[in-house]
Amino acid sequence: MLANRRGELEALSHLDPSLAPLLAPVIDVSPLDSFTVDVLGRLPAQLLPAVDVSALPDAPEADLARWGVPLVPVIGLTDSERRLVAHGAAARAHAQRALIRLRIGTDRAGPDAATAAVERIWRWTRLDPEQCDLLVDTADVCCRADVRMVEPRVRRLLDWARRHAWRSVTVAAGGMPPTLSRLPTDEPVRVDRWDWLLWQDLADLGVGYGDYGVSPAARGAEQPGDRLPTMRYTADRAWWIYRWSRRGGRGDDRFADLCRTLVAAPHWPPAGAAYSWGDHEILRRARRIGGAGSTTTWAAWCTSHHLAHVLSTLRGPVREARPEPWRPGQSLAGRPARPNRGGTARRAG
């Protein structure tokens, strides 16, 4: 899930074409964004973005079918009937599918209420369950206590989800702290990726993986006041945060020193500049080629590396034994469960 900002979208535009089919970006559009539909048209042809306009007013301008570009509509459990009809039209116009986003923090519903909500969505969008991907969004998990609290809730929800014939099921979380201004400067600082650790705990269920890139899930929580050159560099199980003070030298010199420190670190990938477009740009700055950039370019380079790192890790052995893929109709406890394809609401666990 990426915010609709120039840096994140630029990272998508530089994605390796061979990786694009493996990625399903969800772009959150905010009322404060200067969003243009042309941005979606500049993404790689193999990349089909999902667009979430739930934060926009329920007006014709938010009808995704009118945007005229290939996309997947993101549907919320509480969307209005008018918006559900519009999302159904957008799904049929482009990808013949939609994504239903269930937010654990705000969509507080038991199994009966959740079943009634998704059956309402299928009725008004005129979509079948098999045409819908389910995204279970846990929002931010920032410590081990958050993981312990969220994991059983997600498992109960996934037990409910197996009663329906979803196209796919994905669990997503954020883990980046909302502010980095209290971290030390001029030295790399390790920050645990609790979102990744949560998914590893759930990997035995065979669900898909999702995250918020190198940003916190709570978009408004990010603090704009810290303008120090900053890198949020993704590694195994952690981010390495580089915040370099401008004191003692010009901005370009300090940023070049930051990049030289990063490329010499153990978590710099063996492939170096070939690992991603973002890594290529970081190495150029380490060699004093190009300027220091801005908060937008730093976000673009870090997001580019993050996407490459996550896709590389998911294609490798996450665990010693691969979990079985998600199969609707089989509950987590192993008891048979007939997938529900719509109709009357029924108890789901």
Let me know if residue 265 belongs to a domain: no
In a domain, 282, yes or no: no
The C-alpha R_g of the chain, in whole angstroms, comes to 21
Which of 110-114, 187-191, 224-228: highest mean pLDDT?
A: 187-191
Q: Is residue 262 part of a domain?
A: no
Kindly report the CA angle at 160 between 155 and 161, in degrees rounded to 5?
Answer: 90
E strands, the chain, are 2-3, 26-28, 50-52, 72-76, 98-103, 132-140, 168-174, 189-192, 208-211, 230-235, 238-243
> Residue 261, SS3?
helix
Residue 159's pLDDT band (cuts 50, 70, 90): very high
Q: What is the CATH number of the domain that holds 26?
A: 3.20.20
What per-residue confidence (pLDDT) applies to 317?
65
**Token reading at 212:** 């918020």
Whether the predicted pLDDT of 287 surpasses 70:
yes
3-class SS at 50? strand
pTM value?
A: 0.89
Position 161 pLDDT exceeds 80: yes
Answer yes or no: is 319 within a domain: no
140 φ, ψ (degrees, to nearest 5): -80, 135
Average pLDDT over residues 76-105: 95
- Tokens standing for residue 338: 């007939």
* Domain region containing 132: 2-223
Angle subtended at Cα 202 by Cα 117 and Cα 311, rounded to the nearest 5 degrees: 100
pLDDT score for 328: 63
- Does any domain span residue 125? yes
Tokens of 149: 């609290």
Sign of the dihedral through C-alpha 6, 10, 11, 13: positive
pLDDT given for residue 324 in this prediction: 64
Average pLDDT over residues 320-335: 51
Give pLDDT tens digits for 44-78.
888 999 999 999 998 888 899 988 889 999 999 99
**Section 304-318 average pLDDT:** 89
Q: What is the mean pLDDT of residues 31-53?
A: 81
Residue 163 maps to a domain: yes
Ramachandran angles phi, psi of 52, nearest 5°? -110, 110
Mean pLDDT of 185-201: 95
- 3 vs 252, residue with greater confidence: 3
Q: For residue 245, tell me if it sits in a domain.
A: no
Tens of pLDDT, residues 240-268:
999 998 655 666 888 999 999 999 999 99
Domain count of the chain? 1
pLDDT of 31 strictly over 60: yes
| Mean pLDDT, residues 191-213 taken together | 95
pLDDT of the residue at 2: 94
Within a domain: 313: no
Indicate whether 330 pLDDT > 90. Answer: no
